[in-house]
């Protein structure tokens, strides 16, 4: 899964289809993400010291990651991400549509640096 918390994503399926927003939390075990403003539900809360008035509290629920696409600012649309090695041997995420690098995944390794002969 190449989507990370803090990324801007576009919801591609469901009631919030077309929404472009930021990922708040990723649950890798369940393959779900909480997206700001997506999949909002009302939670009814009883009066307490924490919520003195009680009532309905609006909160975001997790969305399946397969229903999200990374939003590329260069392409101006939701795209798929890929992983590749750069010339210095570090691994980065990139937009599969336009090839723009999105961010580094792993630090440089000499084994993956270009220019080194493979045996």
pTM of the model: 0.83
Torsion sign across C-alpha atoms 36, 62, 42, 39 = positive
Return the closest-CA partner of residue 3 out of 61, 59, 73, 80.
80
Specify whether the CB–CB gap between 56 and 62 falls below 8 A: no
Specify whether the CB–CB gap between 69 and 10 falls below 8 A: yes
The answer to whether residues 18 and 34 belong to one domain is yes
The answer to whether residues 74 and 90 belong to one domain is no
Domain that holds residue 116: 81-119
- Contacts for 104-110: CB closer than 8 Å, 24+ residues apart: 105/2
The answer to whether residues 88 and 61 belong to one domain is no
List pLDDT tens digits, range 1-43: 899 999 999 999 999 999 999 999 999 999 999 999 999 999 9
The answer to whether residues 70 and 102 belong to one domain is no
Number of domains in the chain: 2
């Amino acid at each position: 899964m190449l989507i990370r918390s803090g990324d801007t994503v576009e919801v591609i399926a469901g009631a919030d289809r077309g929404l472009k927003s930021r990922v708040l939390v990723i649950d890798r075990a369940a393959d779900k993400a909480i997206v700001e403003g997506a999949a909002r539900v009302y939670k009814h809360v009883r009066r307490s010291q924490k919520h003195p008035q009680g009532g309905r509290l609006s909160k975001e629920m997790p969305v399946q990651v397969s229903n999200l696409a990374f939003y590329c600012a260069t392409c101006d649309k939701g795209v798929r991400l890929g992983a590749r090695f750069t010339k210095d041997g570090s691994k980065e995420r990139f937009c599969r549509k336009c090839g723009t690098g999105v961010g580094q995944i792993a630090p440089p390794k000499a084994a993956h640096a270009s220019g080194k002969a493979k045996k």
